[in-house]
Structure 1
């Protein structure tokens, strides 16, 4: 098909950009054939690199729909010639003045070329066999010539979008961790500049509601990482205290089926077959102090029998006192018991007794309005030697939990 002119119709002047676009479109195509809709989708991804908008692409989509073949193939007729009315219909009813503006943008971006007729109309001339001799309209060949550039730009845009998405996810997670630790530390009554950290995190959360670029996200990441680091330092002492207490329970010997019944032995005799066993036989002497990490004066199997609900929260079978302490440490947050209340209980009652107490509180959760306050009250009594977990467990076993402790 012959191209008859290189100059635009009417008042549009020849420019250096126009001549450069024509020279670019005239060079050999690196890819002789390419699927037009695949190329269009790649251009949608890479539109920023070519300076075109989504509305420009709407018009290009309409133009491509007038090209009957599924591929753009070099050497074939790549000129489409719809009227403005037909083009506007396929561009979702776009006004003609708007249509002309977007067509000019596509030409200016070097993605289209105008091939104007003598009167500025778009039409085609065919020979006797129906073959196209001359067509006047918009030439799609620049798209085929620039296909390698479009595909490369699309791949780069996808990689940048993925990097931006990954960075944003990382920033959101850092901010989330910092917010959770802030709430944890503040509720625990630890020392720290909580208000300053709170203000900084709120500003970060507000900024993350907007669509931010890579550079802005990196700035927030640095700020959030700094706040998170400070928060970790503030709450680590509490975490280490609980961890140390849990580790100590691993060395506690487990009870055996046979226990000495002599008064001179330190162990207490437990006749489990008798449900009416006196709770006084299970209580340690008052004034002994609750800070010991020795096993409570009652077998673990009876604690689990009295407090079966705790088994539902265990991350592994409760076979040792250490397993019970680990489960209680996990469970206390669900009961609304603050980290500081748990640490005080571990410190004054011992890790095992603190765990038994939490298990009993869970079993009576429907009767206790404030589990955290109740645990603190029992801890204070235990520190004075006025509270033992034995009566509390036995009360539950005897169905008398309402009067326990």
Structure 2
């Protein structure tokens, strides 16, 4: 066509009609674009382009009049259905409603009107040349890359919201579980009611469609409460130690500095290759006979002080027993400890004591020929009820003090 009109038939001209159809070469897609994929991307990014679902319905109807599945190339991208044909394609949408949505698509720059001199829509051929009057889809094609980028940005934002909702939901579940656990070990505290109430309120909030900012606020609140609850629950075992027992163990070990080792009760020629010492097995009977699968009556900060090498393999602070367990699980394969040996240790020692043993073995890694075999030997002692990790930690502390 020799001339592209910009004014509509018997309607006032607007800025939308003044837009130039031809886009810079850099922004025009270099390949054909599937019209239905483009429509799906546009439906995802509809807020970016200021259109609604009803506008997209009308656009879908117009695209159905385009014979090919792809836009682009040298094909004239003008469709010329009558208003009646469009409304029939849109399941009987009123003509006034259809025209209103067409105007919104033109205003959004996704379509351009090419009105004939009498306002009719038709195609006319002059030899090899084809002249069409109707709705030009070229602006939509030229915006294909922008639409794709906007749709991808929306999908990424939705994915962030989805992942944040999952995190908040899991934290809410942990909060409710900690409330029940805390009520069992120390009933009647107001803290447990606070945890339960927060979990219930979070459940109600998650029934709504929350923004990423709202979810971030909920996550921060839940994280603070979870940390407080863990500090409270872990506190009696991690920050307070049995003063008399600790004093007895330290005095006993300091009086036998030359006979201290990592696990003195192993038989000679065991898997560790460290000479045993029977004197250091004479620790207090209450420590030896207690259930080894409970959280050890040993402050966590003392374990960390005796085994500083563990911090090299764990990012972040180790302030709770579950963090010590995570660190031990992380470093265990690198030490050559098999999964079966680790599972046995967890079964008979419990996760806390098994983690302490791994940390202690790591501290004396250069002196132990077979860490896996050494752990199995200690597990056998634990299964027989004759093992405590207290002397191991106190021995390491004594070595550090003597160094």
Q: Common fold, TM-score beyond 0.5? A: yes
Where structure 2 has 5 or more consecutive residues not aligned to the other structure, the ranges are 243-262, 267-284, 292-338, 352-381, 386-403
Q: Check whether the contact 2:80–2:122 (CA below 8 A) recurs between aligned residues.
A: yes
* Cα distance between partner residues in 2 of 1:116 and 1:60: 18
Offset of 1:118 from its aligned partner? 3.1
* Cα distance between partner residues in 2 of 1:136 and 1:39: 23
Counterpart of 2:12 in 1: which secondary structure? Answer: coil
Matched with 1:143 is: 140
Shift in CA distance, 316/180, structure 1 to aligned 2, threshold 3 Å:
farther
Shift in CA distance, 231/90, structure 1 to aligned 2, threshold 3 Å:
farther
Offset of 1:70 from its aligned partner? 2.7
- What is the CA deviation profile of residues 248-274 of structure 1, one whole-angstrom value per residue up to 9, with x for unaligned ones? xxx8989xxxxxxxxxxxxxxxxxxxx
Matched with 1:264 is: none
Alignment of 1:26 with 2:25, yes or no, is no
Offset of 1:317 from its aligned partner? 9.5
Offset of 1:142 from its aligned partner? 0.3
Alignment of 1:13 with 2:9, yes or no, is no
* Cα distance between partner residues in 2 of 1:195 and 1:42: 47
Where structure 1 has 5 or more consecutive residues not aligned to the other structure, the ranges are 245-250, 255-289, 297-314, 328-350, 355-405
Matched with 2:168 is: 171
Offset of 1:54 from its aligned partner? 2.2
Shift in CA distance, 86/238, structure 1 to aligned 2, threshold 3 Å:
farther
Matched with 1:223 is: 221
Counterpart of 1:136 in 2: which secondary structure? Answer: strand
Matched with 1:88 is: 87
Shift in CA distance, 57/294, structure 1 to aligned 2, threshold 3 Å:
same
Q: Check whether the contact 1:112–1:142 (CA below 8 A) recurs between aligned residues.
A: yes
Report the RMSD for the aligned CA atoms in angstroms. 4.1
Q: Which has the larger radius of gyration?
A: 1
* Cα distance between partner residues in 1 of 2:114 and 2:127: 23
- What is the CA deviation profile of residues 71-114 of structure 1, one whole-angstrom value per residue up to 9, with x for unaligned ones? 22254311101122322233344332322222111111110011
Matched with 2:130 is: 132
Alignment length, in residue pairs?
275
* Cα distance between partner residues in 1 of 2:75 and 2:343: 80
Q: Which moved more, 1:315-324 or 1:191-200?
A: 315-324
Shift in CA distance, 72/352, structure 1 to aligned 2, threshold 3 Å:
closer
Alignment of 1:63 with 2:55, yes or no, is no
Matched with 2:251 is: none
Q: Check whether the contact 2:32–2:71 (CA below 8 A) recurs between aligned residues.
A: yes
Equivalent residue runs for 1:255-294 within 5 Å? 293-294=288-289
Counterpart of 1:26 in 2: which secondary structure? Answer: coil
